[in-house]
Amino acid sequence: MPADRSETSLIERIARLEERKAAIAVEQSEVILAFAKAHAESQTAAGEVDPEKLERSIAAQVGLACRVSPTEGRRRVRIARDLHAGHTRVRELHAAGRLSEYKTATIVAATAHLSPAERAEVDEQLAQQRVEALGVRRIHDLARTLAAQVAPEKFTARCRAARTGRRVSVRPAADGMADLTAHLPVEVAVACYAALAAAVNEVAVSPEPVTRGRGQIMADTLVERLTGQATARDVNIEIQVMVPIETLVDDDSPLPAEIPGHGPVPAELLTTSDGRKTWRRLVTRNGIVIGGDSRSRLFTGQLAALIRARDGHRCRESYCDAPIRHIDHVERWADGGRTEFGNGRGLCAFHNHVRETTGWRVRNTDGTVTTTTPTGAEYTSDISAGESRLPLSPDRHDAA
């Protein structure tokens, strides 16, 4: 930090640092693109010609190198590809620090369905309209509008395809809460919201005193209509809870219980909450669930449940927190690996498939799982612990 700490000098330094961040982001995208091309060439020369496997391997390695999930790694690869295929003016603004990484990614995402020539046309119009002076929402709307004008048929096809992606998801939030999200066509989403808003008016004109806020009424109405229960709290469901043994033997223990995949929650809240919820307890000590053994080929039943609980229902691969979709043998079954607690780890579908790609290796050393990528980089995860640990900095094997 320089000696001059006046307000003017500090704000100027902030601006310069922002410019440097953008310049570094551009340089990184160039290197990502170069790596993607080099890896595709080397794998093709070695006989690997499956495009899906190649993309998966590239995305996984970029994600690990950037210390992000494979989904984010794939997004960065695609942004690097599209940014260097038609977005010359936008890339120049980004490199000069006049467009942030987020704004640039917004433009690239809005034009992802276009050809390089069509993208270049949008790119020129964005520069003429001084896109660098706009906010993110305006950039998003402008880029989509220009894309629709340049290629109206492709825009229509993109919107139609988007409707097939409607879905519902749940993500853990802080303090024992979760976010239930529905990704819907806009007219359907507006209709749903209007119906919930109408429920607020119904409660407001009822003779009973109103003790809940607008948001609470809408949330409770959503639960009641989805589950068919008379009240939102009367939900009939079994929830798996990990409870430290210290909490069971000591009422004054500060250790919280934990709902796998959703984080900590006060133990007393579980015993005093309303409704017909059933809590299935898995007793832990130092965060570790005691597991069992199985001679079956697949991880099923209670053994699979224990592994999912131990791994917090999140993928055990480094930097990935996607939901567990598969229970993987660290040492493959075909190589003599046993279907037992210590040889199982929860993985998302992506990482379970990517380990089968040429050049990927996984080994288990006393509970420490090491993943080696095709370039020789290594990433570790301790499956003997009750929670994921950040991996060490990647090491590289000697060329010899």
pLDDT for 389: 36
Q: Please enumerate in sequence order all residues whose Cβ is within 8 A of that of 22, keeping only pairs 6 or more positions apart, or say none.
A: 94, 95, 96, 97, 98, 99, 100, 101
Could you tell me the end-to-end alpha-carbon distance of the chain, in angstroms, rounded to an integer? 43
State whether 349 and 243 are in the same domain. Answer: no
Which pLDDT band, with edges at 50, 70 and 90, does 206 fall under? confident
Identify whether 155 is part of a domain: yes
pLDDT value for 339? 83
Query: Would residue 344 count as lying in a domain?
Result: yes
Q: Phi first, then psi: what are they for 364, rounded to 5°?
A: -120, 120
| 248: containing domain | 238-282
Looking at the domain assignment, is residue 2 inside a domain?
no
pLDDT at 212 over 50: yes
Note whether 52 and 58 are within 8 A (CB): no
355 and 313 in a single domain? The answer is yes
Q: What are phi and psi of 127, to 5 degrees?
A: -65, -40
* One-letter amino acid of 244: P
Confidence of residue 399 (pLDDT cuts 50, 70, 90): very low
User: Kindly report the CA angle at 65 between 396 and 59, in degrees rounded to 5?
Assistant: 120
The per-residue pLDDT for 239 is: 55
Residues 107 and 127 in one domain: yes
In this predicted model, what pLDDT tens digit does every residue of 50-95 receive, in sequence order?
888 999 999 999 999 999 999 999 999 999 999 999 999 999 999 9
Encoded tokens for 222: 């959503």
In a domain, 232, yes or no: no
What is the 3-class SS of the chain, one letter each residue? CCCCCCHHHHHHHHHHHHHHHHHHHHHHHHHHHHHHHHHHHHHHHCCCCCHHHHHHHHHHHHHHHHCCCHHHHHHHHHHHHHHCCCCHHHHHHHHCCCCCHHHHHHHHHHCCCCCHHHHHHHHHHHHHCCHHHCCHHHHHHHHHHHHHHHCHHHHHHHHHHHHCCCEEEEEECCCCCEEEEEECCHHHHHHHHHHHHHHHHHHHCCCCCCCCCHHHHHHHHHHHHHHCCCCCCCCCCEEEEEEEHHHHHCCCCCCCEEECCCEEECHHHHHHCCCCCEEEEEEEECCEECCCECCCCCCCHHHHHHHHHHCCCECCCCCCCCECCEEEECCCHHHCCCCEHHHEEEECHHHHHHCCCCCCEEEEECCEEEEECCCCEEEEEECCCCCCCCCCCCEECCCC
Question: 320 and 198: one domain?
Answer: no
Residue 293 lies in a domain: no
Of 92, 180, 106, the residue nearest 139 (C-alpha): 106
Same domain (yes/no): 127, 248 = no
In a domain, 289, yes or no: no
Indicate the average pLDDT of the chain.
82
The answer, yes or no, to whether residue 39 has pLDDT greater than 70, is yes
Backbone angles phi, psi at 357, to 5 degrees: -80, 150
- 210 and 104 both lie in a single domain: no
Quick one: pLDDT at residue 139?
94
Do 151 and 20 fall within a single domain?
A: yes
Both tokens of 131, joined, read: 């896109």
- Can you give the pLDDT at residue 291? 40
Using only C-alpha atoms, the chain has a radius of gyration, in whole angstroms, of: 26
Please list the residues that pair with 326 across neighbouring strands.
347
**For residue 352, is it within any domain?**
yes
Residues 210 and 135 in one domain: no
Q: Across the strands, what pairs with 381?
A: 369
Tens of pLDDT, residue by residue over 358-396, are 889 999 888 889 999 999 999 988 876 554 333 333 443
Query: Which carries the bigger pLDDT value, residue 5 or residue 8?
Result: 8
Total domains in the fold of the chain: 4
Residues 11, 137: one domain?
yes
